[in-house]
Structure 1
């Protein structure tokens, strides 16, 4: 969960001359044609499982990998699997973050089912689990059953408005401490922590900045992110996952060859230097931080914290706050061992695992992230 889609990410000397031409204007106005359609299709379908899943796929998840596959062969039931082709082996070698994302998917599925008066009975890891990583065994089995006492979750009203705002936040607008309360109340399974104290915020700004610098300076972990860049509307439509870069500036930079995966990997390039400045600006403009801690770090706990992160994010949206995960220091690759140890000493001094860390503040309005159509996430349809 890292790189920014800040629209002013690369201000290259001399500008992009092509933009002054008719062809350039046409290129600059390109927009995804299919990648955002799932946001407008949520809630459609005759099968209540399809309706619930059409919302669930809008859940937050690391690097927007959308690592979910479902089996619908048994009526009224759903079996969730991890798409093993969508893991993050370098930055998430234990698949912890992927599991958290799958938990957010389950949490949103649960909320969406309640809209239809259905209770989602979720059995996590029905065939067992392993701490080493995810495998072909199911993540969860879900059975939808009618429940006349099931009440819609008020947080569901924020589902289509939720965004991970990966832009600088307004440094002139402090976050009132009163806005932390609804987020704390939204959390069910985890221990919620937060701070808007200026000294604490500044300390965590510096800490998260340094942790991000380690991820970027480690060639294989940085390359993992760059390989998931989707540069421009055509790439985003073709692969509506990963880290998307859209809008007139990026369309022009891509069209003129100034922004490519190769230039992003070249640490001597202007693209790299100015891109890094923009990315670090996100850490450096946090106006508060929130985090979730669990006593255990088994797979069921990771799924549960994903549901809590979703709920926390929806509560932040309802409060008018922007939120972005800053999970670099929580990653388990060797070069991050020092920050990992330090963040646990800071935020979980009595033990437990810091599962999620994010920044809050008041950011600009941004659009939704691309999504694969639901039919591509169904491994076995209703028979």
Structure 2
């Protein structure tokens, strides 16, 4: 997680001291050693299925849970399963967001296979599915067939640069309305694209998304779900390269001095909690535009298709130099979120359907990669 000046002021205000020039200071400057290796290893495997999977695991997904498991026991086939140990039961009780993340994964898998000269034919939920949650049944069965004529996707070249940018955006740099047309043009799975950069509309959506984020943080069980996934410092990130990572010199110092811990973050009376909440909420106030996807129904298959389109919009934003930050809180289906949920559905899908995804866009700082588990850890039968 990159440090903005706002975050640095907050953390230094909490009392962290960097012992520059000492062994302490040296340790504080160290970065994760293995958590980013999957980005370097993408596309380097011999088996074409492994090559495609090594790219697919770079897909965006909620809370960076990386909820995918691949069964390679059948030659030329990948059976994709959801890792049920990586669900978000409080903020995503029906696994809708996790399913969308799996849709992002499958679309990136398809793009990578095509780039490699393979057609990836996908059968979704070959043994059926449940509306109440993902289970042990496969999410998809993907058959690989060599096909030199398969169409390559021009978006694939930008995959290494794709990010979910949670930093503040430049409020003095507007987003041109024409950019929305470019983002909407990349959809291929049937979702309806919506977006706005009109200041009054952006202002209203800033307020709505800020309120939804506040509710998630101030609801103990949903906030604790995030805190439990905090990875603080390089050792934790390397040991568990998923969840919400906090790395860099200041976070290392805070970890070593016990200024920033999961316990402190969980305490609503602490300075860390109160100041952290202000920082988190402030990011919504820098939105310079919003984009969203609406679907006619909310089936599992539609959720997978939404993930494919959402990945493509994210990459198209990258192509336009835009920061792209999903704001899923108002779309979450837990009881405390009922008010913002109703408002966002009425506002963004007035003619019916389901608002599946929502993000803020704008021009922000360059950020680093997100940690990833090694591909080998995501294979079921090795």
User: What TM-score range do you get, normalising by the shorter chain?
Assistant: over 0.9
List aligned pairs for 1:111-130, cutoff 5 A.
Answer: 111-130=111-130
In structure 2, C-alpha distance between the alignment counterparts of 1:83 and 1:337, rounded to whole Å: 28
In structure 2, C-alpha distance between the alignment counterparts of 1:87 and 1:21, rounded to whole Å: 43
- Give the equivalent residue in structure 2 for 1:315: 316
- Give the equivalent residue in structure 1 for 2:19: 19
- Give the equivalent residue in structure 1 for 2:295: 294
| Long gaps (5+) in structure 2 | none
Change (3 A) 1:353 1:6: farther
Give the deviation of 1:12 after TM superposition: 3.2
In structure 2, C-alpha distance between the alignment counterparts of 1:6 and 1:136, rounded to whole Å: 39
Matched, 1:304 2:308: no
Which SS does the other structure have where 1:186 is aligned? coil
List aligned pairs for 1:22-61, cutoff 5 A.
Answer: 22-61=22-61
List aligned pairs for 1:205-244, cutoff 5 A.
Answer: 205-244=206-245
- Give the equivalent residue in structure 2 for 1:182: 182
- Give the equivalent residue in structure 2 for 1:267: 268
- How many aligned positions are there? 378
CA contact (8 A) 2:94 2:131 kept: yes
CA contact (8 A) 2:17 2:253 kept: no
Give the deviation of 1:294 after TM superposition: 0.6
Change (3 A) 1:192 1:16: same
Change (3 A) 1:109 1:14: closer
Which SS does the other structure have where 1:291 is aligned? strand
TM-score using structure 1 length: 0.97
Which SS does the other structure have where 1:364 is aligned? coil
TM-score using structure 2 length: 0.97
CA contact (8 A) 1:65 1:242 kept: yes
Instruction: Calculate the aligned-residue CA RMSD, in Å.
Output: 1.2
CA contact (8 A) 1:92 1:331 kept: yes
- Give the equivalent residue in structure 2 for 1:152: 152
| Long gaps (5+) in structure 1 | none
In structure 1, C-alpha distance between the alignment counterparts of 2:145 and 2:98, rounded to whole Å: 27
CA contact (8 A) 1:5 1:166 kept: no
In structure 1, C-alpha distance between the alignment counterparts of 2:12 and 2:307, rounded to whole Å: 39
In structure 2, C-alpha distance between the alignment counterparts of 1:117 and 1:155, rounded to whole Å: 16
Give the deviation of 1:28 after TM superposition: 1.6
In structure 2, C-alpha distance between the alignment counterparts of 1:221 and 1:86, rounded to whole Å: 15
Matched, 1:357 2:350: no
